[in-house]
Amino acid sequence: MLRRTVLVALRALRQLRHDHRFLALSLVAPVLVIYLLKLFFDSVENPVFKPQQFVVPVGAFIVHFLTYVLCMIVLVRERTAQTLARMFVNGFRRSEIIGGYLLAYSTLATAQSLLVLVELNWLFDLAFDTSRFVSMYLVMWLLATISMALGIFVSNFALNEGQIFPFIPLVTLPSIFLSGVVVSVEKLPEWAQLLGRLTPLFYANRMVQALLAGGGLSDDWGSLAALPVYGGVVLLLATLTLREVD
Amino acid sequence: MTQSEQGEAAISCTGVVKRYGAVEALKGVDLSVRPGEIFGLIGANGAGKSTLIKLLVGTARATAGSVRVLGMDPLRQAGQVRSQAGYMPQAPALYEDLSPRDNVRFFGGAHGVPDLTQRTEEVINFVNLRGRADDAVFGFSGGMKQRVSLACALVHRPQVLLLDEPTAGVDPKLREAFWQHFRDLATAGTTLLVSTHLMDEALFCDRVAVMRDGAVLVSDSPKALLRRGRTRVSVWCGDERQSETLADYPSELPGLLRRRGLEDSVTRIELDEDTLETVVLELINEREAVHA
């Protein structure tokens, strides 16, 4: 099983290496968006407003959005090109395909999260010490990995590239509005709070806020544990819903 | 089909029905392919050839009926069937940003081919792509992609090959080489099920099933099918031509010539045999007339 998982991962990485445009977009796009964010926050003239409270969660959202969408596109592309069916016919199992993709794209997510955090730290003078930087990075990396799993799961319901588009706002809009990044979750109606808890950004944002307030990862074990549990559940759902037979 | 026939066959389908919603893609297909045989599925697009092959490789589930490959169920015994079957889909189904060598190594690696490097070179050479083995498939013509796809299907030396339109877009010279290789594989014991919409390719097969609208119209050897055709004999006496249609010209022609006495005035005899396409067209017309 592990051999074929590694085979899928190596093949996906080789494809990434050849697809310069995709690679560049995945790494340059978040950097560019965060720079635009800097220009936006610089123009807000409000002495009470502290952009630091917002920029890290928004940076996390950008990573979440990009990894989710890119993973979804890649998997749907496999389906429409019929290479997914060909993989099954050649003996690959669902868990091996998903595991391989996760392994390959987590390298991209690792680089993406690091770039975003370094840029945020530099542009907004966040002055994180090493321990806080590593904790922030862990949260962002976990979120990116979960977003990939979410992308793989949702891609199982899109039969072609065109069907991807309705799924983008369906996941990302509740993420940004109901997770506590823009408004406090407590101010939302109860049903919206419940919906917010279904987004991975909710748990990541709680961790980020705790770290920004000077706390450590151990201050909110619940949210820290929720991220890998969330990822595991989504991966299980992705494996169960990946259709092998028509 | 009896149980013993089903057991001996490399591929067998009994009463196979496949429905996609209200559309019945296969309407009770029965066929049996013997080990080491080249069996052709002949029919136009939409006849049900690709659907049948998908059932055999286990990427689709039959609504009713039974499908067996090497005596095994392609869904329940997917692992065993897939390790011994090679599949070339109608679409190239390749990683186009990778090279032919990368594609072949990836699919060969899945099967754990022990001499993968050597085997990859063998199949790349066979499909005549050694000069382009490291170029991205993306810029290849349709025919070249078909060749890469065939190489991927062959890499693990399967016992059964299921090829969906393997020669579509391939030039005539390479097409001949493909069929020669298919014959060599069959001689070595590989069973081949090849779908095609080209009637002339049926002649390369040991037996064929002609499919139309999800059903097998007729299944026989190409020679037996051709024997169903007629031959028009034209006898020329100077500028005058007399024509007669014979159902079985090898046995009926001597009688015709005896009747005519083969006079000195006979200057030319022309034989115009029905092609396989004409025979199949006749069969379709007969069947439609019955159902009308």
- pLDDT bracket for residue B244 (50, 70, 90): confident
Give percent of chain A with pLDDT exceeding 70.
99
Instruction: Using CB atoms, pick whichever of B75, B85, B89 lies closest to residue A85.
Output: B89
Contacts of A88 in chain B (CB under 8 A): 58-59, 82
pLDDT at B1: 54
Residue A244: closest CA among chain B residues belongs to which residue? B59
Residue A86: closest CA among chain B residues belongs to which residue? B93
pLDDT at B229: 85
Contacts of B111 in chain A (CB under 8 A): 90-91
Contacts of B156 in chain A (CB under 8 A): 90
Q: Do B93 and A90 touch (CB under 8 A)?
A: no
Please give the biggest Cα pair distance in chain B. Answer: 72
Go through B240-264 and write b for each residue having 16 or more CB atoms within 10 A of its CB, e for each that does not. Answer: eeeeeebeebeeebeeeeeebeeee
The whole-angstrom separation of Cα A4 and Cα A104 is 13
Instruction: Using CB atoms, pick whichever of A4, A19, A245 lies closest to residue B61.
Output: A245
Q: Which of A159-168, B72-81, B185-194 has the least mean pLDDT? A: A159-168
pLDDT at B5: 52
Select from B70, B68, B42, B81 the least CA-distant residue to B217: B42
How many CA atoms, within 13 angstroms, populate the side-chain half-sphere of residue A243?
Answer: 15
Whether B265 shows a pLDDT value over 90: the answer reads no
Same domain, B242 and B120: no
At residue B254, what is the residue type?
P
Same domain, B157 and B273: no
Q: Do B152 and A86 touch (CB under 8 A)?
A: yes
Q: Does A88 touch chain B (CB under 8 A)?
A: yes
pLDDT at B216: 92
At residue A78, what is the residue type?
E
The residues, ordered by sequence, that sit 6+ positions from A107 with a Cβ below 8 Å of its Cβ are: A13
The whole-angstrom separation of Cα B27 and Cα B202 is 22
pLDDT at A93: 93
Of B193, B221, B249, the last residue of a domain is: B221
pLDDT at A4: 93
In this structure, is residue B202 part of a structural domain?
yes
Same domain, B265 and B231: yes
Mean pLDDT of A57-74: 91
pLDDT digits (tens, 9 = 90+) for A100-158: 999 999 998 899 999 999 999 899 888 888 888 999 999 999 999 999 999 999 999 98
pLDDT digits (tens, 9 = 90+) for B144-173: 898 999 999 999 999 999 999 998 878 888
Mean of all residue pLDDT scores within chain A:
89
pLDDT at A7: 96
In this structure, is residue B279 part of a structural domain?
yes
Q: Does A243 touch chain B (CB under 8 A)?
A: no
Q: Does A80 touch chain B (CB under 8 A)?
A: no
Same domain, B179 and B279: no
pLDDT at B262: 74
- Model-level pTM? 0.86
pLDDT at A10: 96
pLDDT digits (tens, 9 = 90+) for A214-233: 888 887 888 888 999 999 99
Same domain, B217 and B230: no
How does strand B231-237 pair with strand B266-273? antiparallel
Mean of all residue pLDDT scores within chain B:
89
Same domain, B33 and B135: yes
The number of folded domains in chain B is 2
Residue A84: closest CA among chain B residues belongs to which residue? B93
Instruction: Using CB atoms, pick whichever of A83, A90, A92 lies closest to residue B95.
Output: A83
Same domain, B110 and B172: yes
Whether B291 shows a pLDDT value over 90: the answer reads no
Same domain, B73 and B94: yes
Q: Do A3 and B93 touch (CB under 8 A)?
A: no
Q: Do B82 and A85 touch (CB under 8 A)?
A: no
pLDDT at B250: 81
pLDDT digits (tens, 9 = 90+) for B103-121: 999 999 999 999 999 999 9
- DSSP-assigned states of every residue in A50-76: -THHHHHHHHHHHHHHHHHHHHHHHHH
Same domain, B140 and B238: no
Same domain, B187 and B230: no
Domain that holds residue B169: 11-221
**What is the three-class DSSP state of A26?**
helix
Phi, psi dihedrals of residue A22, rounded to the nearest 5° = -65, -45
- pLDDT bracket for residue B2 (50, 70, 90): low
Of B221, B247, B267, the last residue of a domain is: B221
**What is the three-class DSSP state of B264?**
coil
**What is the three-class DSSP state of A128?**
coil
Q: Are A202 and A185 in contact (CB under 8 A)?
A: yes
Same domain, B183 and B247: no
The residues, ordered by sequence, that sit 6+ positions from A37 with a Cβ below 8 Å of its Cβ are: A55, A58, A59
Mean pLDDT of A11-39: 90
Q: Which of A56-65, B21-30, B259-268 has the least mean pLDDT? A: B259-268
Q: Which of A43-47, B71-75, B247-251 has the least mean pLDDT? A: A43-47
We report the CATH number of the domain holding residue B96 as 3.40.50.300
Residue A81: closest CA among chain B residues belongs to which residue? B93
Same domain, B205 and B240: no
pLDDT at A212: 86
Contacts of B97 in chain A (CB under 8 A): 15, 18-19
Mean pLDDT of B6-27: 89
Predicted ipTM beyond 0.90:
no
In this structure, is residue B4 part of a structural domain?
no
Instruction: Using CB atoms, pick whichever of A18, A85, A91 lies closest to residue B110.
Output: A91
Of B184, B202, B221, the last residue of a domain is: B221
- Residue from A86, A92, A159, A243 to probe the interface with B (highest B Cβ count within 10 Å): A86
Whether B85 shows a pLDDT value over 90: the answer reads yes
pLDDT at B7: 52
Mean pLDDT of B262-283: 83
